[in-house]
Amino acid sequence: MKSLEKKAANKITKSYRALGTVIDLTIYGCQDEGILDQSYQLIKYYEAIFTVNREKSELMTVNQMAGIESVQVTEPVYQLTKIALEKSKEHFGFNAAIGPLVKLWHIGFSDAKVPSQAEISEKLKLINPDEIVLKDEEFSIFLPKKGMEIDLGAIAKGYIADRIKDFWRAYGVSSGIINLGGNLLLMGKAPHQTNKKWRVGVKNPLSSRKEPILQILTEESSVVTSGIAERYLKVNNKSYHHIIDPETGYPHPNSLASVTVLSRKSIDGEIETSRLFFADGPIENWLTEHPEVFGAIFISKNKKIKTVGIPKNQIYIADKSFEFE
């Protein structure tokens, strides 16, 4: 039995570059690197059809035809767009049509700036998700105003992580780690741990450095964090983070530094971090109304930690300047 357990804990890990970040893929109990290489090819396929950071992609064609005509797309692009727009129409902060506004600020890039109110007001006219037309029978998307854009970047990593998990299961892989640049999906049990639970670090949301301030003990889950330290702009001693409120056109102001969501599917974690960040913290009945999630961790700018659905004994605080609320 011991030899079998040791074999299950054997792992292979490979790193790649895609989605604008470093991709780390790890599988346990298997030494077939071909599975990881094929996973990377799948990631590159999805990136090629979803991206808006290249001149050509299916989604870029949709954006280029804004105000002109509808565009027929493949099923992955259509279905992910449909999910994104359904959530956008709930108007809780997540908005897949916010691209023109994000590009106006361009926070995180060398040409980032604080735009004028007139510029913001002009872009706000182009980000209403309720105006976008989808036709299920054609897999077609129509953006009715020139200048409108769809950007799936806020949920694409989650969708891709879930597809990689499906791919691994088809190959009989039972345990693994899919790390798409901070979007983490933990598959199966942790065979290298005696209690078979995964240990996940959450980095300091108040620093650009990557040191973890706490560690979560969890079973199979996706772990997604959204925070203000990822990208920001400083002008006249004032800091503007990259999470833009589609209602105001400005970075959303609140006391939160980051939100981490644990969920069954990674795409749900992407969506719910947005919901909770714009809600400024825990929402009453959130867990019961969203059975797809396990819980959340909130870290405030004043270094207080609050949890929902995650027992405190499953969290170890490594940086003692942070403490439970």
Cβ-proximal residues to 53 (8 Å cutoff; 6+ apart), any chain: 20
pLDDT, tens only, 158-194: 999 999 999 999 999 999 999 998 799 999 999 999 9
The DSSP string of 101-130 is HHHHH-TTSTT-----HHHHHHHHTT--GG
Phi, psi of 64 (to 5 degrees): -70, -25
- Decide: 77 and 83 in contact? Cβ < 8 Å: no
Report the C-alpha gap between 11 and 34 in whole angstroms. Answer: 14
Lookup: tokens for 187: 């598959």
Query: What's residue 4's pLDDT?
Result: 52
Report the C-alpha gap between 126 and 191 in whole angstroms. Answer: 49
Bridge partner residues of 104 (DSSP): none
Q: Which residues of 18-32 are buried (b: 16+ CB within 10 A; e: fewer)?
A: bbeeebbbbbbbbee
Geometric angle at alpha carbon 29, from 23 and 34, rounded to 5°: 50
Record the pTM: 0.93
* Residue with token string 């909130």: 298
3-class DSSP state of 179: strand
In the structure, what pLDDT confidence band is assigned to residue 241 with cuts at 50, 70 and 90?
confident
Report the C-alpha gap between 154 and 79 in whole angstroms. Answer: 15
Looking at residue 292, its amino acid is E
Report the C-alpha gap between 15 and 22 in whole angstroms. Answer: 7
pLDDT, tens only, 86-104: 999 999 999 999 999 988 9
Whole-number mean pLDDT of the chain?
A: 93
